[in-house]
Chains A and B, each alone.
Chain A
Amino acid sequence: MSIQATNIRKTFGTVTVLGGVDLTVPRGKLVALLGPSGSGKTTLLRIIAGLEHADPGSGQIHFHGEDVTKVPAGKRKVGFVFQHYALFRHMTVFENIAFGLTILPRRDRPAGSAIADRVHALLKLVQLEGLDARYPTQLSGGQRQRVALARALAVEPRVLLLDEPFGALDAKVRKELRRWLRKFHDEIHLTTVFVTHDQEEALEIADEVVVMNNARIEQVGTPQEVYDRPASPFVYQFLGNVNVLRAQALAGAGVPGANPAALEAEGNLYVRPHDVAVAPHDPRSPGLVAVLRYIHAAGPQARLTLEQIQSRATVEVEVSRSELATLGLKVGDLATLRLRQGRSFDADYAI
């Protein structure tokens, strides 16, 4: 079931939360809405779910071509998973998952045994077999989130919407659970949208990433696309580390990928730390001269912080540990930097 949101506007008082946003989620995909807090991503998700409404006169929501703009949340057949789970504390895990089925009008409601079968199948799906008699307070955060997921799936939703699903979990569980979600999605192929502010999470598991900022969508693309070809300075900075260098500092450095005219106009060049090559200083080779100020090598990659001599600009560089060993650089040494590739943007882009 595809989702289409057209021209969605939302204002709270004088604050514009969504300024005419268009979004298409293709059927069966796992799509991440990625952005900093306040970018409008959660509001967009809630409008898709029907928990909030776009400003009167603006925007429609279509599920697979069917206009659901005026359909109330409970009739849209969406599964919504909340950041803080929103489990019903006074109900057991079983009762929580069965809730959506037990409230159906009598003529549509499955028999008790059918409900029990469905709940147990879902418990198996989310790997929580045997916990059906527990109360939510007796579960860990990761388990609660999976109960919330099973509860949302019980009503056989057409689309699955997750609001910061791993936001309240600790780092390790978060990583496990997001990989599990990817695998899970590959099994059930339900059109899924999840909101996150964690770029690593979005890039790792989504089929498509929608980067949002300031009530607008900045870029839509596969993780590879948005990472390798960011459409704006914001996306460049939000997805991973980036060096922002003033153009004057680069005089004569010759950077592949940078448009000289744009460089002139805006004066900033964006270079990823792993796109900078470091070599011990050699006056005969072209490049920027910099002093090594700091080495951070506690990790899979070594991160070097250098200061360019001319402009005193700070440049972050990532090299492999073995490369660092061959270079033999120490803090305080002079080095020559060569930019493998970088990008500049037209002046109308402001961060």
Chain B
Amino acid sequence: MSFLRRERSVLPGFGLSLGFTLFYLGLIVLIPLSAAFIKTAGMSWDEFVAAVWSPRVIASYRLSFLASFAAASVNAVFGLLVAWVLVRYPFPGKRIVDALVDLPFALPTAVAGIALSAIYSKNGWVGQWLEPHGLKIAYTEIGVFLALTFIGLPFVVRTLQPVLEELEPELEEASASLGANRWQTVTRVILPELLPPLITGFALAFARALGEYGSVVFISGNMPMRTEITPLLIITKLEQYDYHGATALAVVMLVASFCLLLVINLLQKWSRRYYRV
């Protein structure tokens, strides 16, 4: 047992803190999740397949994953822009704008959903101008995408901000003095430096969007085969006392999300390869 003979660390309390960490994670994360697996294990294989692979469910997977992916991607681009502006330029009201970024964190998601559907519906402030041009947002996939974008924004901004603040101005000066124009400095020096936090922010926004429920159900209209997200189907099954069906869906979502986050983490590791000493 070589790990028992390890050298004593200067930092005390390793055993205690690790023990607490495992206990806490077990209590808060692992036990509830394993309950989903155990409950699902009570189903037969055929029942399981019927629950998680019906056309209506598959349509919801597609919407959930695609809309979340699209929302996280849009947030990656515009979140970068917002973080850049907030860090780089002084302007009046900057602190208010900075505080606004956190609003999607703080707002109850149902409130966000109701507000969004009110604004984008046929009679809403924005919707009344878009509908005549054939652009329907509320009660369509676009509405789902919009709600997921709204709730994901702070994740990208808040992970990028500290890194941008720490970025040495010398890097840009070095690039400029070597003859690079502004575009080359941004694409070849700044963006690569920001890639790791950008991936982290993307992953957080994506994960959040996958699990989002409150803000989506109001604006999506919940039309079967079209605007139903998977979390909604889980709730629907619960309301019908179909606990097995609900946990089966949860398990599929869990495994899929876990695999996706694993891939993103590998990407993250690759983007930080030069940090190795």
Could you list which residues of chain A lie within 8 angstroms of chain B, going by C-beta atoms? Answer: 49-51, 72-76, 78-80, 82, 84, 86-91, 99-100, 103-104, 135-138, 148, 151-152, 154-155
Contact = CB atoms under 8 A, between A and B. Distances in A.
B170 A78 contact: no
A104 B273 CA distance: 27
B178 A155 contact: yes
Contact of A73 (B176, B274, B275, B276): B176
Contacts of B178: 74, 99-100, 103, 151-152, 154-155
A90 B193 contact: yes
Nearest to B182: A74
Nearest to A77: B179
A84 B173 CA distance: 12
Nearest to A108: B179
Contacts, number: 80
A113 B273 CA distance: 26
A50 B178 CA distance: 12
Given A88-B193, A90-B274, 19 more contacts: A73-B177, A74-B177, A74-B181, A79-B177, A80-B174, A84-B168, A86-B173, A88-B192, A89-B274, A90-B195, A91-B274, A99-B178, A103-B181, A104-B179, A135-B273, A136-B274, A137-B275, A152-B177, A154-B178
Contacts of B126: none
Contact of A74 (B179, B189, B192, B277): B179
A137 B277 contact: yes
A84 B169 CA distance: 11
Contacts of A152: 177-178
B177 A80 contact: yes
A86 B176 contact: no
B121 to A, nearest CB: 46
Contacts of A84: 168, 170
B173 A51 contact: yes
B33 interface: no
B264 to A, nearest CB: 19
Top 3 closest A-B pairs, CB basis?
Answer: A86-B170, A100-B178, A135-B274
A152 B273 CA distance: 25
B188 A74 contact: no
Contacts of A138: 276-277
A84 to B, nearest CB: 6
Nearest to B196: A90
B187 to A, nearest CB: 10
B276 A99 contact: no
The main secondary structure of chain B at its interface with chain A is: helix
13 contacts: A73-B177, A74-B176, A74-B177, A74-B179, A84-B168, A86-B168, A90-B193, A91-B192, A99-B180, A103-B181, A151-B174, A151-B178, A154-B178
Which interface class (under 10, 10 to 19, 20 to 34, 35 or more) fits B?
Answer: 20 to 34
A89 B275 CA distance: 8
A151 B177 CA distance: 11
Contacts of A155: 178-179
Nearest to A72: B176
Contacts of A75: 179
B193 A89 contact: yes
A135 B276 contact: yes
A168 to B, nearest CB: 12
A75 B175 CA distance: 12
Interface string B108-119: 000000000000
B15 to A, nearest CB: 32
A39 B179 CA distance: 29
Most buried by B among A75, A76, A86, A89: A86
A78 B193 CA distance: 25
Contact of B174 (A72, A86, A104, A137): A86
Contacts of A86: 168, 170-171, 173-174
B184 interface: yes
Interface string B139-160: 0000000000000000000000
A270 B77 CA distance: 65
B277 A103 contact: no
Interface string B201-237: 0000000000000000000000000000000000000
- Report which residue of B170, B174, B189 has the largest number of chain A beta carbons within 10 angstroms of its beta carbon: B174
Contacts of B179: 74-75, 100, 103-104, 155
Nearest to A134: B274
A88 B171 contact: yes
A148 B274 CA distance: 17
Given A74-B178, A86-B168, A103 B184 contact: yes
Contacts of A104: 179
A154 B178 CA distance: 9
A131 to B, nearest CB: 14
A295 to B, nearest CB: 41
